[in-house]
Amino acid sequence: MSPAEQLALALNRLHGLPQLSGRLGAPLAEADLVAILEEASRFAEERIAPGRRDADRAGCVLENGVVRTPPHYAGLLREWQAAGWQGVAAPAEHGGQGLPHAVWAAVFELVSSADMAFGLMPMLTAGAVELLAHQASADQAARFLPPLVSAEWNGTMGLTEPQAGSDLSAVRARAVPDGAGGYCVTGAKIFITWGENSIAANTLHLVLARLPDAPAGSRGISLFAVPKLLPGGRRNGVRCGGIERKAGIHASPTCTMIFEEAEGELVGEPHRGLPAMFAMMNAARLAVGVEGVGQCARATALAEAYAAGREQGGRAIAGHPDVARMLAEMRAVTAAARLIALDCAVSLDRARVGEPGAEARLALLTPVCKAWCTDRAVEVASLGIQVHGGAGYVEETGAAQIWRDARIAPIYEGTNGIQAMDLVARKLPRGMEAFRAMAAEAGAADPALRGPAEALAEAAGRLASAPAEVAGAGAAPFLDAAGWVLGGAWLARAAAVEPGLAGEAGFFLRRLLPRARARLEEALAPA
């Protein structure tokens, strides 16, 4: 099955998204979902994917304060805008289509798989829309959301500073009232994805900064909207201080942004910027997990095509037992990661209609989706290189690019170690009942899952009540084990409704599920 077919199968037959879409106010039939995903796949493969390797070679260049992206990206962005893909799940009252977030997640997988670097611009813009839809004033929403929803503007997330890293309580950027209802924002932000570019008409920076009366720590952070261009086209006091030279995603500009008394607007309440920003951060964590799925899918497709056409020993290497094993693992892991990500996205939609338990499920699944799917992306991309042999380690085949691009995802939006600590130290103590229900649900999916699921639930209880240092040491292997169990359960359910996935499910349960027990033993071992 193609990625689009697997996505449609999961949304229609496993999650019943057409029924849920009606409750969300945007009714869709099963055929509608199939048509949307078929068209998204066509756009991704015909318009985006062909330029992926050229974009990687061209990279980005900072010239006279302007970041030049790969030459074809400007035209590609115009096509993206004309097709309306940015607004798939955006509010209808601001120009979007108002479809379930799960539809956007499925579309974004296909886009990210086609070219991860390009896909990062719509990803962050979608996050900005999510934040502003919930936190902006009516006036701000009316001015900022339509150009973001149409992708005329791109959005960025201005959190990280040189001295702060992941510790946002150490943010030093400041915002001073300008006497006219606005603020002058000053400070430096690093690692800002698509922070400066020459292809969007404007860029809206969502920036964390401190007001003059801010208390110390994370409780003293406020959120500001700072556009690159002000009304009338005047340049605001924000500039790019440099772009990073990176291992991968060469065509996505990663910028140091300097704010020098830039004109900004407060979004939400003073000193409540971090809770407001979490709307964008959580959307980004789910999206980065989906990026991981996209890189798994691209690596798998590339490896399968190469193995089918490369002959050695008188036959295609796809038939050699060890290559067949690697391809089977790539297919099974990709399908499982896809299903975990969709479970997370559908849980977000269910939470929006107030379905009991959906909020708790979403909270538990988000760190698993982000960390497990991105760790698997690196592993699957590495297997893809191995399938290619020496041809995979050189750039001509494209296998190495996937590996290089995928490697950032376990670092993005809170490293995977932070995600694991979030799961064990914060989410489990608050949602143990929901986690045990998820584990029991997984154990019922197939007899092979019963034992691992029970062991997972037991480990969750032990870690949630363990001293901080013990829980911290076991958090990452525990999260990994959760992914193997939950992914296996979803594959078993998928194979039950679609026999075409029986091969992936059988391989996963026989060959990959035992990794869950090994990881749980590691999670509970003395430090």
The kind and range of the H/E element at 353 are none
Distances from the Cα of 246 to the Cα of 66, 166, 376, 408, angstroms: 18, 19, 21, 9
Residues 189 and 192: their CA atoms lie apart, in Å, by 7
Angle between the N-to-C axes of helices 273-309 and 358-388, in degrees from 0 to 180, rounded to the nearest 10: 30
The closest of 345, 339, 404 to 373, measured between CA atoms, is 339
The token pair at 490 is 């979803």
Beta bridge partners of 67: 62
Residues 69 and 63: their CA atoms lie apart, in Å, by 11
Distances from the Cα of 122 to the Cα of 44, 207, 425, 440, angstroms: 13, 18, 32, 37
Residue in the structure block whose two tokens are 């407001």: 276
What is the tally of helices (H) and strands (E) in the chain? Answer: 19, 11
DSSP string for residues in 405-445: HHTTTTTTTS-HHHHHHIIIIIIHHHHHHHHHHHHHHHHTS
Reported pTM: 0.96
Catalytically annotated residues: 413
Angle between the N-to-C axes of helices 116-135 and 73-83, in degrees from 0 to 180, rounded to the nearest 10: 50
Angle between the N-to-C axes of helices 358-388 and 468-497, in degrees from 0 to 180, rounded to the nearest 10: 80
> What pLDDT tens digit does each residue of the chain (527 aa) get?
999 999 999 999 999 999 999 999 999 999 999 999 999 999 999 999 999 999 999 999 999 889 999 999 999 999 999 999 999 999 999 999 999 999 999 999 999 999 999 999 999 999 999 999 999 999 999 999 999 999 999 999 999 999 877 778 789 999 999 999 999 999 999 999 999 999 999 999 999 999 999 988 888 999 999 999 999 999 999 999 999 999 999 999 999 999 999 999 999 999 999 988 887 888 899 999 999 999 999 999 999 999 999 999 999 999 999 999 999 999 999 999 999 999 999 999 999 999 999 999 999 999 999 999 999 999 999 999 999 999 999 999 999 999 999 999 999 989 999 999 999 999 999 999 999 999 999 999 999 999 999 999 999 999 999 999 999 999 999 999 999 999 999 999 999 999 999 999 999 999 999 999 999 999 999 86
